[in-house]
């Protein structure tokens, strides 16, 4: 069996991880695992971890490492047959160490987006809570204002996109991410992309992944 492909995408809140992950999953057939979506599913399902996570997210804080690793690692261990892209995990050095203990990564995509751009994007982000679909009132607005394109249900502004929580999230990210970025840089698997527009970053990421994932292998490896 050919080697499976393991990638991580990191970047501050609003940097476009989710948007770019969707494009990668669609173009290269990787399974997309979003730590944020996973946390939100647990909150909706009122699991023990979800109830605990909610208290942190409401304040714009990271969920503690032990809760995240307990949630995410079993999920990854179920995916041993697939190539995947992990979005939003690891966020801290402790999470990176935990991930390292179960797999070797091939590529880490690091999104480096200016602070003002991030603030502006998240101010205008609206989410469909049950599916996790996100809209931006300018970049990708819904067809009918305030309603999800697929279900017609009401869109909401997530608690952690509200201004008070947002500033805390952005401030915190830089400090926490630095050692993780340094770790992957030292392993020579870090690829950083800087711009204010996802559409300008995407072709460069696509080119990178085309050189890393041999054509024809990703679909075969990831078929569910
Ligand atoms: P999440 O869900 O991982 P964040 O905060 O890291 O949350 P977020 O906010 O979902 O990440 P993103 O995925 O990086 O942002 O970006 P996105 O959603 O694709 O794009 C943001 C907005 O900008 C969207 O409206 C999009 O349409 C728009 N957009 C994209 N590109 C462009 C562009 O070029 N131009 C314009 N104008 N707009 C654009 O995690 C949520 C919470 O869960 C916890 C934390 O509390 C976290 O805050 N959590 C963890 N805690 C600890 N450890 C972990 N590993 C955790 N993972 C999650």
CATH class of the domain whose range is 6-115+172-222:
alpha beta
- What ranges do the domains of the chain cover? 6-115+172-222
Is 125 annotated as belonging to a binding site? yes
pLDDT per position as a tens digit, 126-164? 988 777 788 988 889 999 999 999 999 999 987 777 777
pLDDT at 92: 96
User: Is residue 90 reached through a cis peptide bond, with omega within 30 degrees of 0 on the bond before it?
Assistant: yes
Mean pLDDT of the chain: 88
Q: Which of 61-65, 89-93, 110-114 has the lowest mean pLDDT?
A: 61-65
- When pLDDT is cut at 50, 70 and 90, the band that residue 2 belongs to is low
Ligand 1 closest atom vs CA 88: 3
pLDDT at 221: 40
* 50 CB within 6 A, ligand 1: no
Structure ipTM over 0.85, yes or no:
yes
Ligand 1 closest atom vs CA 91: 55
CA distance 125 to 128: 10
Q: Which residues have CB under 8 Å from 153's CB, separation 6+?
A: 128, 130, 147
Burial 198-215 (b: 16+ CB within 10 A, else e): beebbeebeeebeeebee
């Amino acid at each position: 069996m050919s080697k499976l492909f393991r990638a991580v995408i990191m970047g501050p809140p609003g940097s476009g991880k989710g948007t770019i992950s969707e494009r990668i999953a669609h173009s290269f057939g990787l399974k997309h695992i979003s730590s944020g979506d996973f946390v939100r599913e647990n909150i909706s399902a009122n699991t023990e971890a979800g109830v605990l996570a909610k208290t942190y997210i409401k304040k714009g804080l990271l969920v503690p490492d032990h809760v995240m690793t307990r949630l995410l690692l079993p999920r990854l261990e179920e995916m041993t047959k697939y190539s995947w892209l992990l979005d939003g995990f690891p966020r801290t050095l402790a999470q990176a160490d935990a991930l390292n203990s179960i797999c070797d990564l091939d590529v880490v995509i690091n999104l480096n987006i200016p602070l003002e751009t991030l603030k502006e994007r998240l101010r205008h982000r609206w989410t469909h809570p049950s599916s996790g679909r996100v809209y931006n009132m300018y970049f990708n607005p819904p067809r009918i204002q305030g309603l999800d394109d697929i279900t017609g249900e009401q869109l909401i502004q997530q608690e952690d996109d509200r201004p008070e929580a947002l500033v805390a999230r952005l401030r915190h990210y830089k400090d926490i991410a630095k050692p993780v970025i340094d770790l992957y840089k030292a392993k020579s698997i870090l690829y950083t992309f800087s711009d204010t527009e996802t559409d300008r970053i995407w072709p460069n990421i696509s080119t990178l992944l085309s050189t890393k994932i041999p054509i024809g292998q990703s679909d075969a490896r990831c078929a569910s």
